[in-house]
Structure 1
Amino acid sequence: MIGPIAGRIGRPGATILAAGLVLAGLLSAGQVVGGLLDARAEIAEARARLGHLQAAAGRPPPAAPLSGGDEAALLGAFRARLDALASGRALVIDGARVEADPGSPTLPRLHAQMRGTAEALHGLLAALEAGPPLVVVEAAEIGIARPADAVEERPTALRLDLTARGAVLPAADAPR
């Protein structure tokens, strides 16, 4: 017994109809599988973003930059930071000054001149860039201030000309 549809369209028509239904089922299954693959890729991407966010949340917050309310306060903070780092090290701070930068009025240049041993100057530079408040060193020129003297047992004294950046922050009560 062929059935009512097969009786009307014949056996070849019923075969074609069955093949069309199977093909339609496969296409819809393909869309479902494609949708599942797309969802799987989106889940993997979301997990990767979550991993990055969790790693960022686990890191300590970045150190605040060296800043002041105006250039004089910034220079005072810079000099205080240098003096604090120089204590206990074999170095002398010869001077420090601030230079306005017309291109970046809130990020003036800070200059310092120092003399000391290689170890002392290296330690000061490492501490400037690592500890709070953060000082961004732009240039450091090192030269010999005084050669070593074996008779007097004096090490080589180096000269360091340092250029860094500081931040001038507006006062908390100033209008923006």
Structure 2
Amino acid sequence: MMVPPALSGRPVPGGRALALALLGLVLAGGIAVLGGPVADLLAAREQIADARSRLARMREAAARPAPAAPLWAADGPALLAAFRARLDGLAAGRAVLIDAARLEIDPARPGAPRLAAELRGSAEGLHGLLQDLEGGSPQVAIARAELAVLRPAEAEAERPTLMRLALAVRGLVIPAADGAEAPR
């Protein structure tokens, strides 16, 4: 009896090549059928990852507090009045007195004049005023601050140290166009 070579366990001549060719045809057919959808799925996955990244950045930006507006007014006297009102508001409730506030026009920067102030008070009161001045709204950038002791503390009279603060800040003059009020 004659047993075919494939069943006898003996190698079939050209059988391995035939099996590899069939496997290649099956793989090529699978890639042709699934290649387009698989590539589309991979591209969609990248687009989703990019969209998630943009969304995370947008959420972070939305969670940040809005920057404070600078100290500004339509002209010099209004800017000085706004500065004085800001100082008065910050000095209220603190051991601080405002001795003077003035506007100093800077010819090099006419749109950003200097505002100077001289204050007296306790170290704690002046420190708190400076912190609130820089950190609150409207935003004020302190250009110069000089602190000096006017009178040392007296333990017998229960008087704290009296200090003097001279500071200079910059404001913005934004003239209103055509007499209209400038935006706030």
Alignment TM-score > 0.5, same fold: yes
Distance 1:105 1:20 in 2: 81
Question: Could you list the per-position Cα deviations for residues 101-126 of structure 1 after superposition, in whole angstroms to 9, with x for gaps in the alignment?
Answer: 45544332222121110111122122
RMSD over aligned Cα atoms: 3.5
Number of equivalent positions:
166
Pair 1:43 & 2:63 matched: no
Of 89, 94, 115, the match for 2:94: 89
Instruction: Give the Cα separation in 2 of the matches to 1:96 and 1:58.
Output: 37
Q: In 2, distance between residues paired with 1:24 and 1:146? A: 95
Alpha-carbon offset, residue 96 of structure 1: 1.8
1:173 equivalenced with 2:165 (yes/no): no
Task: Please name the residue that 1:155 is paired with.
Answer: 160
Distance 2:134 2:59 in 1: 26
- 1:136 aligned onto 2:136: no
Ranges in structure 1 where 5+ consecutive residues have no aligned partner: 1-9
Aligned pairs for 1:18-57 (under 5 A) are 19=24, 22=27, 36-57=41-62
Q: Distance in 1 between matches of 2:107 and 2:148?
A: 29
The offset of 1:132, in angstroms, is 2.8
Question: Partners of 1:24 and 1:103 in 2: how far apart?
Answer: 77
Stretch of structure 1 that moved more, 89-98 or 38-47: 38-47
Q: Matches of 1:140 and 1:28 in 2, distance apart?
A: 75
154-163 or 91-100: bigger deviation: 91-100
Deviation at 1:66, TM superposition (A): 1.5
Cα distance change, pair 13–61 in 1 and its aligned pair in 2 (3 A): same
**Is 2:87 the counterpart of 1:75?**
no
Q: CA deviation at 1:74?
A: 0.7
In the other structure, the counterpart of 2:67 is: 62
Give deviations 1:27-83, integer Å, cap 9, x for gaps.
Answer: 996786566445434422322322332343355543322111112211111012112
Q: Name the CA distance, whole Å, in 2 between partners of 1:154 and 1:26.
A: 89
Which amino acid in structure 2 is aligned with residue 126 of structure 1?
Q
Give the alignment's TM-score, normalised by structure 1: 0.71
Instruction: Supply the distance in 1 between the matched residues of 2:32 and 2:114 (Cα, whole angstroms).
Output: 67
Structure 1's 16 and 141: CA in aligned 2 closer, same or farther, altered over 3 A?
Answer: farther
Look up the SS of the partner of 1:173 in the other structure: helix
The aligned residue for residue 125 of structure 2 is 120
CA separation of 1:114 and 1:41: change in aligned 2, threshold 3 A: farther
TM-score between the two structures when normalised by the length of structure 2: 0.68
* Aligned mates of 1:118, 1:90 — CA distance in 2: 9
User: Secondary structure of 1:160's match?
Assistant: strand
| Identity fraction in percent | 52
Q: Distance in 2 between matches of 1:40 and 1:139?
A: 55
Bigger radius of gyration among the two: 2
